[in-house]
A and B are shown apart, each in its own frame.
Chain A
Amino acid sequence: MTIDPIHLSLFRNLFEAAAEEMGITLQRVAFSANIKERRDFSCALFSPVGELLAQAAHIPVHLGSMPASVAAVLAHLGSLANGDVAIVNDPFMGGTHLPDITIVSPIFYDGALVGYAANRAHHADVGGISPGSMTLSRHIDEEGIRIEPTLLNRQGVRNMEALERLLAAVRTPDERLGDLEAQLAANHVGAVALRRMIERHSAETVAHYGRALLDYSEQFMARAIAAIPQGGYAFEDVMDDDGAGSGPVPIRVVIRAQGDRVEVDLRTSADQVAGCINCPEAVMRSAVYYCFACLMEDEVPLNAGAFRRIDVLTRPGSLLHALYPAAVVAGNTETSQRVVDVVFGALAQALPELIPAASCGTMSSVALGWTGWTYYETVGGGSGAGPGFDGASAVQCHMTNTLNTPAEALEMQYPLRVRRFERALATGGRGANVGGDGIVREIEALEVCEGTVLSDRRTSRPYGLAGGEAGASGVNDVVRAAGGTIEPLAGKARFQLQPGDVLRIRSAGGGGWGRPAH
């Protein structure tokens, strides 16, 4: 079969629309604010051999890791049968961190396997030692229930043993079940969409154009990579600390560009650490892919073909390729941001007219909770300034794009009060173009609760470029109701709040670009 440019365009739209439709369903049917208000999820379609065909643009950190989860499911369970549904969240089998649960459903047409629908959603709690499952852990088992690829449904029959094991391990089983049902519904919608395509165009044609779209995206990426002048570019930055008392933790990259291929070598980065900032391989891969996706001129389907020209080298047992039983919960939210910073830092040497300074470099995750409730959110920051533009203030940067929970929604649901949610003035780096300002968010506890904050760039600063200054680092503290004392918190900290205590999070500003005028 040849490739027709008109069909290529049609199938591009059809695959993308199918993934979008899955996302619409998931958001609407889910129960937790985290999925519905904050949209912390991704949806995708895969070929029968597990190649990513289309992914709806939701959360970049899922970009390289969804395919890894599907691959792990197929490796572990073999090709799925009609009516099977697999569940996985194991960070060492394609997962990101335990709260991100992936559901994989095979799609059959006329008795033949024609593809897979998969989606991943961040569940507000999966057990572990802290409410919200965002924790200062030193071992993966402290972070919650770890699910290796398992059948949740076997040929249409619910695997009650697996489901009960999961629900028994979490703090809010009712909400989890509702969200899991929503994930199944989303995959169902993806399957219906793929079958509709096959009914109209035949299974052969759909498979043919599925493959053609991989080559199609590859061409765009090849052009983007070819624009990088040939050579090697090295960059190094640090994570403040690992949350278990040691740091700074260096992350190093060497990017070697040759023609329309590129090698991203992260092998000289630090060893796996005791704290929870270790990155599963899939998370690191997502961060690298994200950077190159930003280089493409057009909006192009981000499928398996788009990343064929990128060779990523890592060292198993290192910070960016963590092995069991590493604690990984903040690898996904924090370390992934630094991987982006080093890749862009290196690319800025090759493409100085294109690449912006560092953004806030942290997701500043906050989890609060007590018996019966858990609340989770991430706080944006300043984005980096670049050639020809200032950074944006108080916005989600790079590896995440979740929405905030409105104060009015939050206060109706939890014994919390938002005291302040504003731009952190003058925290953006100075420069000819100034970096964006970070955010100040203050949350008052109305009842006793415990909490965890996982943040970085509290001692290090987002770098500036071309003579621009670094953005200001962030600050976390608690203002105690009793006596009004201000108690500083580390970047990664666990704490208790009494009624009236106020948790204050200030995220980092973005780096400036170009020498500031005097």
Chain B
Amino acid sequence: MIGVDVGGTFTDLVASDGETLRVVKVPSTPGEFERGVIEAVRRVTDAASAITHMVHGSTVATNALLQRAGARVALITTEGFSDLLLIGRQNRPHLYALRVERVTPITDICFGVPERIDAMGRVVKALDEGAVTRVIDQMVAKGIRDVAVCLLVSFVNPEHERRVGEMCRRAGLTVSLSSELMAEFREYERASTTAINASLRPVVESYMQRLEAGLGGCESNLRVMHGAGGTLAPAEAGAHAARLVLSGPAGGILGAAFVARAAGFDDVITYDMGGTSTDVATIIGGAPQWTTSTTIDGLPIALPMFDILTVGAGGGSVAYVDAGGALRVGPRSAGAMPGPACYGRGGTEATVTDANVILGRILPDQFLGGAMEIRRDLAERAVAELSKQLGKSLLETALGIITVAEANMAGAIRAVTSRRGHDPRQFTLVSFGGAGGLHACAIAASLDIRRVLIPPYAGVLSALGMVVAPPVAEASKTVVQLGAELDDARLAAEYGQVSGRTMEVIPYERTAAVEAWADVRFRGQSHELTVRVGRPSWEEIEAKFVAAYEATYGRVPVGRAVEIVTVRVRRIGRGAEIRLPVLDISSEPAEARETLLIATESRETSARVFSRAALLRDGPVFGPLLVIDPEATAYVPPNWRVEAREDGAVILTAGEP
């Protein structure tokens, strides 16, 4: 069992035989990402045939989308709507800007064809096949090979869309049909998703082919992780290319869920802080929360994906004094180049990482296991510039930078949880990513969260998540237009049909569980709540919806009719049984090292430095102290209790002596 996650910088691999884990980290190979994967796989196995099962997460789709490096695609839509992608929802991203700048659509080649289906799915204007043929000729003449088709109301009646798809395929074009990707209403979001899929498809297909060729003969064992934590066979990955966006982060969330569950925590906020940004997600009852309103770089992808909020704040976020005299941190980042001043790569602006170095919370000789030199003098020079502007001491300024950055992130976490109607106080914060542990306790404290968990294998958590995650298949269908026709019998039939589609991915004999979900609203509302339902009946769905509504919004309006908008099925396959190995404490030095650091109010305090193994042996202990890993450092403030579990998870609890 192998999990491989390709990130922008490193390709991580976790291999498990059920009892032991092996970890491999190799540099990623942008442009030909498969080379890094093959290299990592070679390190753990000589022959591909030895791989029983491999789950792969890749940044290939995300990168191609962010760089708009996908294929040149055309969109075919209903006549009268050819500017669908340009207009979007008609709004502008910045309210107070003299120059109106909108996100660049995935393509500006769009064709409208005469046809129309009404809201009930009836054909009110037949498809003009002659017009379709002419559009195909134009596309072929332009050298276009990939086409997205999104006709109005195809989520009710896909007949026209399928016919257009057929004609395009016959002309040798590769087609993404909106009704096959997501049978749901809102034409702009569906068209955007379909166009993104069409554009990423050749990128993903060629990558998968190169990867399979390189791995040589293990195709049948290879699965690719998608953004909702499920997996796809390599052959179907291209057809669902848009789903591969957020593939890596999904693995991280699954890894966090797994580790937290092992420690007994099922309600979790994950907080993955890297150099330029921080990803936040929630896990409830062990299940990562998902959404169908993901936006990547301003472009909607309306497919079910883990609900990940990205905040533009990380270790590299730049601190500055604004024209009103306030100390601000981010959203601009020093990035990887030049990076924080202390990296010694020419950066001169003070960053969050520089402040941590000055406060003694990052030990220069221990950064990334000592693999990277940290220049405290350069950090001081950069922060000293700011302290002059602020009229504060160096240490006060460094503490200020940390305080502001932590407040930004805490605010973002509060927004993502309250938007979903959750109270953050009931959660455990699971912190990972290079910079997460340095701020986790402070952020938890400002959200009244009392417990923080730092997972083992934090540096390869995505790859771990890919090893432990069971396969998941999802399908959905919008049914609200059925109105009174949607009685219990019809409802059961619709669920049956949608469930059948998930079985194409996970056959019955490999199914561990089937979940029925419904998007429900009060008639007249235009946003839905997605609720898990038992037996698919009106009574059951209404009861679950009303309970969820009350939990989310506090009050339930009386006497309003309920509408079932979309039915969804999630089919979960059987996953691998994995236990994390026990930490080895035999080789730990008897005495923890001591260091000086600044906890609060600019005074140096003596603090011990622990490895996870030393913590397991000596814990529980109380902050201030540092927990150091080859990948990351955690700072434990005064009044936080910290201990390690046998599997290496570090658990911090607030508010005891």
Interface residues in chain A, defined as those with a beta carbon under 8 Å from any beta carbon in chain B = 3, 5-6, 8-10, 12-14, 17, 20-21, 24-25, 27-33, 36-37, 57-58, 60, 174-175, 177-178, 181, 185, 188-189, 200, 216-217, 219-220, 223, 290, 293-300, 302, 354-356, 359, 379-380, 383, 386, 389, 391-397, 401-404, 406-409, 411-412, 417-423, 436, 439, 442
Contacts and interface: CB of A to CB of B under 8 A. Distances in A.
Contact of A31 (B101, B415, B480, B524): B524
6 A-B pairs with the lowest CB-CB distances in the bound complex, closest first: A420-B80, A6-B400, A216-B324, A392-B100, A411-B119, A8-B326
B586 interface: no
Given A395-B87, A406-B189, A408-B153, 12 more contacts: A5-B325, A10-B407, A299-B96, A302-B96, A354-B98, A380-B90, A389-B99, A392-B100, A406-B185, A412-B480, A422-B82, A423-B87
Contacts of B170: none
A401, A404, A421 — most chain B CB neighbours (10 Å): A421
B187 A396 contact: no
Contacts of B81: 407, 420-422
Interface stretch (B267-275, B376-384, B551-559, B618-626): B551-559
Contact of B553 (A185, A290, A386): A185
A5 B401 CA distance: 11
Contacts of B327: 5-6, 8-9
B553 A383 contact: no
A185 to B, nearest CB: 6
A9 B390 CA distance: 13
Contact of B187 (A60, A406, A436): A406
B328 interface: yes
Interface in B400-443: 400, 403-404, 407-408, 411, 414-415, 418-419
A58 to B, nearest CB: 8
A178 B557 CA distance: 7
Contacts of B118: 411, 417
A449 to B, nearest CB: 16
B112 to A, nearest CB: 8
Interface in B503-536: 522, 524-527
B80 A421 contact: yes
16 contacts: A5-B327, A6-B400, A24-B418, A27-B527, A28-B419, A28-B553, A31-B525, A57-B95, A181-B557, A219-B323, A294-B97, A403-B90, A406-B89, A406-B188, A417-B116, A420-B81
Nearest to B481: A412
Contacts of A354: 98
Contacts of B153: 408, 411
Contact of B98 (A177, A355, A409): A355
B321 interface: yes
Given A17-B414, A24-B418, A396-B91, A12 B326 contact: yes
B526 A37 contact: yes
Given A21-B418, A28-B527, A422-B82, A412 B185 contact: yes
Interface string B68-96: 00000000000011111011011110011
Nearest to A215: B324
Interface in B24-81: 80-81
A409 B186 contact: yes
A36 B99 CA distance: 27
Contacts of A396: 90-92
Contacts of A423: 83, 86-87
B127 to A, nearest CB: 16
B86, B101, B392, B480 — most chain A CB neighbours (10 Å): B86
A115 B400 CA distance: 28
B415 A24 contact: yes
A57 B95 CA distance: 7
A161 to B, nearest CB: 21
Contacts of B524: 31-32, 174-175, 178
Given A24-B415, A412-B480, A386 B99 contact: yes
B102 interface: yes
B323 A297 contact: yes
Q: Categorize the interface residue count of chain B.
A: 35 or more
A410 to B, nearest CB: 9
B322 interface: yes
A220 B323 contact: yes
B152 interface: yes
Interface string B439-451: 0000000100000
A406 B82 CA distance: 14
Interface in B281-326: 321-326
Contacts of B446: 200
B553 A439 contact: no
A185 B92 contact: no
Given A21-B415, A355-B98, A408 B525 contact: no
B96 A60 contact: yes
Nearest to B153: A408
Contacts of A302: 96
Nearest to A415: B119
A418 to B, nearest CB: 8
A178 B523 CA distance: 11
A409 B526 contact: yes
A395 to B, nearest CB: 5
A439 B87 contact: yes
Contacts of A294: 96-98
B152 A408 contact: yes
A36 B83 contact: no
Contact of A407 (B91, B187, B403, B555): B187
B324, B392, B552 — most chain A CB neighbours (10 Å): B324
B98 A408 contact: no
Contact of B80 (A29, A58, A419): A419
B522 A31 contact: yes
A30 B555 CA distance: 12
Nearest to A412: B119
B142 interface: no
A60 to B, nearest CB: 6
A389 B98 CA distance: 10
A289 to B, nearest CB: 10
B557 A421 contact: no
Nearest to B529: A28
A395 B96 contact: no
Given A5-B326, A421-B80, A403 B415 contact: no
Nearest to A30: B525
A443 to B, nearest CB: 11
Contacts of B322: 298
A6, A181, A290, A439 — most chain B CB neighbours (10 Å): A6
A408 B404 CA distance: 44
A420 B152 CA distance: 11
Contacts of B418: 21, 24-25, 189
Contacts of B98: 294-295, 354-356, 386
Nearest to B185: A408
Given A32-B524, A216-B324, A412-B481, A422 B83 contact: yes
A423 B81 CA distance: 9
A58 B555 CA distance: 25
A436 B91 contact: no
A358 to B, nearest CB: 12
Nearest to B95: A57
B325 to A, nearest CB: 6
Contacts of A217: 324
A419 B99 CA distance: 31
Contacts of A290: 96
Contacts of B555: 181, 185
Contact of B100 (A178, A297, A436): A436
Contacts of A298: 322-323
Contacts of A17: 411, 414-415
A403 to B, nearest CB: 4
B100 A6 contact: no
Nearest to A424: B83
A422 to B, nearest CB: 5
Interface in B97-136: 97-102, 112, 116, 118-119, 124
